[in-house]
């Protein structure tokens, strides 16, 4: 179920106004020059007026109309910093027709650090027609109570400069994939570029990347490639690459073991030319080989033509079989952006969640298919539990993030959307509740009159305090550069702090996909974001690490798939327990690093690391030192 979404929260009550602000506005039918009215407004705090950076201030605006007729007006609420040289931000528009003789209320929350990186006094100022019209509401932002993650743009410094073409109808996805193609223990980066040869940047291990796409067998004629994800689909110990195209054949690049690739998609049976948007890998039948779900969106036209998704079963011999019929046809013929395999009910197998873009003549909400195991013959049973689990969300889902943000040892997820993110908290009984509003991770508005439009996203512990934060990419549907990205830092109490501006992660470009990984292996998660009609950026995590520790775990499957996709890792430290899944395709059209990252806070050691493998085996390691990457290989037998 969903909480009531953000809105104007307007109620009508009688009130005594403590501070009065006269407004000059027009009554209905008055001349365009505007005749004075007796409408008055007050701003009254409903919570503390001094809060740590990242918290939201709460106040109530009230308008009383003494006139005998209704009055329509628009009030802009503007936030003004005290520092010189900083522009104010109009953060909320209050449009209403105010009834005669009554008081109308608007309850408002505002987090100054959504836009401003400083602390100190701020003022909320009501404006009409651009003019301040009365008393201000003073707010004081104090030092943050959580460590602010800090990022620096190193795109040029490491040699990753490139550009992407503008967004086009049907081709809103822009993805990338991290993976170690040459087995040298550092991350390389693949980026599809529509109309050009893709970039395959090889990490030299010394802080720089070199594009070797052509030399390593990446096709030159790929005008509509959009997204990608690495995985070792043939279990031969190297990273293969699946690339999704919009209306041309998809690519399955098999790694020959030296970091060179051959496109075997046609021979493997997974090269249909449909309106692809993303792909993700997961072993739904636990046979040790990764299966593939490809999400398709829409062929542009009037009306738009939704395209079917594809579920491919890996036969273990280099080929795949189309098993889409295991899922209801009506549910896979939607406008999908992203799907993700994860074990939502903790029963040890991979369930499938599909995020649909809720638009068009035959709109379809999201779907959660519970994996119920083998069926008759060689079939497999997926049960649609969307309605009963509360996950059918009829929203414009563009991306999916999975994590355990509240550390209750079950997997939650977040969805990007238009006019507010979704945060689906796992209730532990097979159901979910959208708590984005109360957890303060929703962000309905970017600024006054501008709803948020969000895309790729991910849960990661960016400041190493042991709690997963949430990063959300934003971008307009057209060419406007007015959608800053969002960073919500976990406060450890079930809510988030909006520390977007102090972290340096408020790029307003048209960001679509986001790929996460620790490219320099310093224990901090870095962010690569894809900006359509602009330049992608690599943000290196430069958060101070004094007194903080981490652990990274790289899995090698033997009975399970080689990458350990779908495994669940749990650690026990002095501060409690944490769990992380191995995801092989999420966010939006991207493949993030499959090395699992834990922030340990002040804990120097991990007393236990528990790996629940997709094969059903459990492996336990004890007394691990922090601040290292450990490789865990699955035993061949019990």
pLDDT band at 170 (very low <50, low <70, confident <90, very high): low
Residue 490 β-bridge partners: 496
Task: Enter the tokens of residue 98.
Answer: 């105010």
**Same fold for the pair 40-142 and 549-633:** yes
Residue 107 β-bridge partners: 60
CATH hierarchy code of domain 549-633:
2.60.40
pLDDT band at 115 (very low <50, low <70, confident <90, very high): very high
Q: What is the pLDDT of residues 565-594, one digit of tens each?
A: 999 999 999 979 999 999 999 999 999 999
State whether residue 356 is helix, strand or coil: strand
**pLDDT of 10 over the 50 cut:** no
CA-to-CA separations, 325 to 289, 368, 381, in angstroms, rounded? 20, 16, 11
**What is the mean pLDDT of the segment spanning 501-528?**
96
pLDDT band at 1 (very low <50, low <70, confident <90, very high): low
User: What pLDDT shows up at residue 301?
Assistant: 63
Domain ranges within the chain, ordered by starting residue:
40-142, 151-541, 549-633
Picking from 433, 471, 618, 630, the residue whose alpha carbon sits closest to that of residue 551 is 630
Per-residue 3-state assignment (H helix, E strand, C coil) for 276-324: EEEEEEECCCCCCCCEEEEEECEECCCCCEECCCEEEEECCCCCEEECH
**pLDDT of 222 over the 80 cut:** no
User: What pLDDT shows up at residue 611?
Assistant: 98
Residues in the chain: 638
pLDDT band at 40 (very low <50, low <70, confident <90, very high): confident
**pLDDT of 24 over the 50 cut:** no
User: What pLDDT shows up at residue 8?
Assistant: 29
**pLDDT of 494 over the 80 cut:** yes
User: What pLDDT shows up at residue 3?
Assistant: 55
Q: What is the pLDDT of residues 519-554, one digit of tens each?
A: 999 999 999 999 999 999 999 999 999 999 999 999
Give every CB contact of residue 152 below 8 A, 6+ residues apart in sequence: 504, 539, 540, 542
**pLDDT of 332 over the 50 cut:** yes
How far is the C-alpha of 613 from the C-alpha of 568, rounded, in Å? Answer: 7
**What is the mean pLDDT of the segment spanning 602-619?**
97
**pLDDT of 12 over the 50 cut:** no
Q: What is the pLDDT of residues 238-260, one digit of tens each?
A: 999 999 998 888 999 999 999 99
CATH classification for the domain delimited by 40-142, as one of 3.40.50.300, 1.10.4190.10, 3.80.30.20, 2.60.40.10:
2.60.40.10
**What is the mean pLDDT of the segment spanning 162-169?**
86
**What is the mean pLDDT of the segment spanning 333-360?**
92
Higher per-residue pLDDT: 218 or 332: 218
**What is the mean pLDDT of the segment spanning 8-30?**
31
Q: Give the CATH fold of the 151-541 domain.
A: Methylamine Dehydrogenase; Chain H (2.130.10)
Q: Name which of 34-38, 422-426, 546-550 the model is least confident about.
A: 34-38
């Amino acid at each position: 179920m969903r909480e009531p979404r953000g809105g104007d929260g307007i109620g009508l009550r009688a009130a005594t106004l403590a501070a009065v602000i006269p407004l000059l506005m027009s009554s209905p039918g008055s001349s365009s020059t505007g005749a004075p009215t007796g409408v008055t407004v007050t701003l009254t705090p409903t919570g503390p007026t001094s809060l740590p950076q990242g918290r939201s201030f709460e106040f109530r605006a009230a308008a009383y109309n003494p006139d005998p007729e209704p009055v329509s007006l628009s009030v802009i609420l503007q936030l003004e910093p005290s520092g010189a040289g900083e522009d104010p931000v109009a953060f909320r528009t209050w449009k209403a027709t105010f009834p005669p003789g009554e008081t109308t209320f608007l309850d408002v929350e505002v987090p100054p650090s959504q836009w401003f990186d400083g602390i100190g006094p701020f003022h909320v100022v009501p404006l009409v027609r651009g003019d301040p019209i009365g008393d201000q509401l003073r707010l004081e932002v104090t030092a943050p109570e959580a460590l602010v993650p800090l990022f620096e743009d190193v795109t040029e410094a490491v040699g990753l400069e490139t550009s992407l073409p503008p967004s086009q109808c049907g081709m809103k996805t822009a993805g990338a994939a991290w993976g170690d193609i040459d087995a040298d223990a550092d991350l390389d980066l693949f980026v599809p570029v529509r109309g050009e040869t893709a970039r395959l940047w090889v990490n030299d291990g010394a802080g720089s990347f070199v594009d070797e796409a052509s030399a390593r067998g990446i096709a030159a004629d790929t005008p509509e490639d959009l997204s990608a994800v690495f995985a070792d689909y043939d279990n031969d110990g190297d990273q293969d690459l699946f690339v999704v195209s919009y209306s041309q054949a998809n690519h399955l690049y098999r790694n020959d073991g030296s970091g060179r690739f051959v496109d075997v998609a046609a021979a493997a049976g997974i090269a249909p030319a449909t309106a692809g948007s993303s792909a993700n890998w997961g072993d739904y039948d636990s046979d040790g080989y990764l299966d593939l779900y490809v999400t398709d969106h829409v062929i542009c036209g009037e009306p738009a033509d939704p395209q079917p998704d594809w579920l491919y079963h890996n036969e273990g011999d280099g080929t795949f079989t189309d098993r889409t019929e295991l899922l209801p046809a009506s549910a896979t013929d939607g406008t999908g952006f992203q799907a993700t395999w994860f074990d939502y009910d903790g029963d040890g197998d991979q369930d499938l969640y599909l995020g649909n873009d809720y638009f068009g003549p035959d709109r379809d909400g999201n779907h959660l298919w519970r994996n119920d195991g083998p069926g008759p013959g060689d079939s497999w049973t997926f049960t649609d539990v969307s309605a009963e689990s509360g996950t059918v969300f009829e929203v414009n889902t563009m991306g999916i993030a999975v994590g355990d943000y509240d550390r209750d040892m079950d997997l939650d997820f977040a969805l990007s959307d238009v006019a507010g993110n979704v945060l689906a908290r796992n209730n532990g009984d097979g159901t979910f509740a959208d708590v984005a509003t109360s957890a303060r991770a929703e962000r309905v508005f970017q600024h006054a009159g501008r709803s948020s439009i969000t895309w790729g996203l991910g849960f990661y512990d960016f400041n190493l305090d042991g709690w997963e934060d949430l990063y959300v990419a934003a971008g307009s549907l057209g060419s406007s550069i007015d959608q800053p990205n969002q960073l919500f830092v976990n406060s450890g109490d079930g809510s988030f702090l909006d520390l977007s501006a102090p972290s340096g992660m408020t790029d307003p470009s048209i960001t679509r996909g986001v790929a996460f990984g620790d490219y320099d292996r310093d224990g901090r998660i870095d962010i690569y974001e894809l900006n359509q009609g602009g330049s992608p950026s690599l943000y290196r995590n430069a958060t101070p690490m004094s007194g903080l520790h981490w652990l990274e775990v790289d899995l090698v499957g033997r009975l399970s798939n080689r990458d350990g996709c779908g495994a669940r890792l749990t650690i026990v430290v002095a501060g409690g327990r944490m769990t992380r899944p191995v995801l092989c395709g999420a966010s939006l059209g991207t493949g993030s690093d499959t090395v699992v990252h834990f922030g340990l806070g002040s804990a120097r050691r991990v007393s236990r690391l528990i790996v629940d493998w997709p094969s059903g085996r459990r492996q336990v390691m004890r007394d691990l030192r922090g601040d290292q990457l450990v490789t865990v290989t699955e035993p061949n037998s019990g």
